[in-house]
A = this chain, B = another copy of it.
Amino acid sequence: MKALGISYKNAPLSVREQFSFDAQKRGAIRSALGSAVVICTCNRTELYFTGADTGEAAALFTEMPDAGNITEYLRVYEDAGALRHLFRVTCGIDSMILGEDEILRQVKEAYAEASDAGSTDFELNTAFQAAITCAKRIKTETSLSKTPVSAATIAANEAARLGGNVNVLMIGASGKIGSSTLKNLLPRPNVHITQTARAHSAGTVQYDGVRTVPYDRRYDFADGADCIISATSSPHFTLTKERLGAVLHTNKPRLLIDLAVPPDIERTVAGIDGVRLIGIDDLGELARRNNELKMSAAEQAELIISEELDELQKKLAFHEFLPHLDKARESAERLTFGELLYKLRDGLDSTQFAAVLDVMRGLE
């Protein structure tokens, strides 16, 4: 198998955009290459193919109008290198966000599209199925895709797991970390979001299902919130103990998350009954620990990839050997065991030969 394409790693978005092939174009590419799978996401456009040579495949990129000097962005992988690349892509190891699993769905879809169109052969089928199996194994056996590393994701996770229905009051949702937290909260069905907006502020984005209230009325919505997240760039406290204490009437546990530097929330609010406060330092420490976990998970994932890749390569080697099986059997059966060992000794290097002898020693 060979692989060729561009990705976020070396091609800027302006280049990648030109190669966001639609279904028709993907079909045309597969037909041109004989056996091929086309993976097309916002981060990469890659062709995996078996029959054609890399020149033909590269031409599909270079011949595009406005391709410019696309060749400097193209990356080519062959044989074992191509198989490993497919595995690393499918498993999220090659992703911008290490371990994200959106790519697994995209690879599955690209493979299904090619398979349904009859564009896959034994090698592509075996390789893609093995890569998908490998990705599932990594998902099950490691915490690679389960470990959030950004403060925004961690904050959103903490909020979302408070209960079956969580009311979140977001103060400062228009800043970088605030909007990132908001986007992390949006897809969670159990979270109901109220965001504050300053009068005359152009920065606030209105999302579906998010209630927007004036910043000056923030204390009025505090009592109804299970979680208050504050992430403004204000030099003053957005929430003080005195004013917050005066408005919290309902007796329930509350999580306050302060994502601002300098802090938005007066530290002493933690003294109010039922209030737990998490600051940016706590989240940073959690992020650091999570990052370590993720790195060690990535190492485990690489080991799993090597194992699964090795199995795949045995399968492919044996498949390639099949047409020669009968002749080899006849020849082998004419040799004594000692003669066969000598043939192996001559044709193998010492590590390979020693491994063969180990197998022979282990025969029942």
Binding site for B on A (CB under 8 A): 309-314, 317-318, 320-321, 324-325, 328-329, 331-333, 335, 337-338, 341, 343-364
Contacts and interface: CB of A to CB of B under 8 A. Distances in A.
Contacts of A320: 357
A6 to B, nearest CB: 29
Contacts of A361: 321, 324, 328
Contacts of A356: 344, 348, 352, 356
Given A324-B361, A328-B337, A328-B361, 17 more contacts: A310-B349, A313-B350, A313-B354, A314-B350, A314-B353, A314-B354, A317-B353, A317-B354, A318-B357, A321-B361, A329-B338, A335-B363, A343-B363, A347-B358, A348-B359, A352-B356, A356-B356
14 contacts: A314-B354, A317-B353, A318-B341, A318-B353, A318-B357, A324-B361, A328-B361, A331-B364, A343-B363, A344-B359, A347-B358, A348-B359, A349-B355, A352-B355
5 closest A-B pairs (Cβ-Cβ)?
A: A313-B350, A331-B363, A347-B359, A329-B337, A317-B354
Contacts of A313: 350-351, 354
A360 B333 CA distance: 11
A35 B289 CA distance: 53
A68 to B, nearest CB: 40
A309 to B, nearest CB: 8
Nearest to A320: B357
Given A328-B363, A353-B314, A333 B337 contact: yes
Contact of A332 (B314, B321, B337): B337
Contact of A360 (B321, B349, B350): B321
A310 B227 CA distance: 67
A310 to B, nearest CB: 5
A318 B333 contact: no
